């Protein structure tokens, strides 16, 4: 029994998750890595590079922002980051998370979408926190203006390191060359999937980059 009827945002997330479940053979890493290598894309190296990049960002936040975010947001309950229907989830976010999650985590994610803890906060937020193992890149890269000013205003070296991280993110997401976020959409599109979360293939601006790279 669910507390609220699902809105269109929840429906599109559930739809994407269901499709990924249906096409789970694409999550079988050795097989998919082999297929992609034959097509000239080293998915294994890209995926491990991306996961290492994400760990690096986590360390950056732990070093520079943990204290201020805990004090300002979590303790006060303000937590503006996890707002309702406010994040853009990429298809690749879901696929990467599914690749590193077990069935129980996958099920919990789905249940949280259907039955979120609060109707005023993100649908992925459960009482114990975010239900993603590797949360969407948009969430990972979010710093609120107050925290940004407080840290980068007093530590410009942290600001420079952050600019460098933002630039490096493009190697996985910005399709001026074949990138992980695009390829993870293509793999499922070839399998017959279509989703509004496939932003690299749905966005006219990003598709222009794809066309221009030849």
- The residues binding ligand SF4 (CB under 6 A) are 81-82, 87, 122, 124-125, 130, 132, 135-136, 139
State the nearest-atom distance from the C-beta of 137 to ligand SF4, in Å. 10
- 98 vs 139 by CB, closer to ligand SF4: 139
Q: Determine how many CB atoms are found less than 10 A away from the CB of residue 23.
A: 15
Taking a C-beta distance cutoff of 8 angstroms, is the pair 124, 112 a contact? yes
- 26 vs 135 by CB, closer to ligand SF4: 135
SS3 183: helix
- 45 vs 138 by CB, closer to ligand SF4: 138
Cα separation, 84 vs 19, whole angstroms? 23
Tokens, residue 177: 């060359």
Cα separation, 75 vs 136, whole angstroms? 23
State the nearest-atom distance from the C-beta of 23 to ligand SF4, in Å. 22
Tokens 């710093």 sit at which residue?
143
State the nearest-atom distance from the C-beta of 72 to ligand SF4, in Å. 16
- 43 vs 199 by CB, closer to ligand SF4: 199
């Amino acid at each position: 029994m669910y507390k609220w009827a699902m809105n269109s945002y929840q429906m599109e997330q559930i739809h994407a998750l269901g499709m990924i479940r249906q096409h789970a053979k694409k999550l079988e890493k050795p097989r998919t890595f082999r297929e992609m290598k034959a097509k000239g894309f080293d998915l294994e190296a890209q995926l491990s590079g991306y996961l290492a990049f994400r760990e690096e960002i986590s360390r950056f936040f732990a070093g520079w922002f943990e204290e201020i975010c805990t004090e300002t947001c979590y303790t006060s309950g303000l937590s503006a980051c996890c707002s309702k229907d406010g994040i853009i989830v990429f298809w690749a976010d879901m696929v990467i998370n599914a690749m590193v999650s077990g069935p129980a985590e996958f099920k919990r994610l789905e249940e949280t979408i259907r039955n979120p803890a609060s109707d005023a906060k993100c649908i992925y937020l459960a009482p114990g926190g975010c239900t993603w193992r590797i949360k969407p890149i948009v969430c990972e890269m979010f710093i609120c203006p107050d925290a940004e000013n407080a840290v980068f205003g007093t530590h410009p070296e942290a600001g420079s390191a952050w600019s460098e991280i933002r630039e490096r993110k493009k190697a996985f997401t910005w399709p001026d060359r074949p990138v992980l976020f695009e390829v993870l959409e293509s793999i499922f599109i070839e399998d017959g999937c279509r989703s509004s979360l496939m932003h690299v293939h749905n966005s006219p601006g990003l598709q222009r980059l794809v066309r221009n790279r030849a």
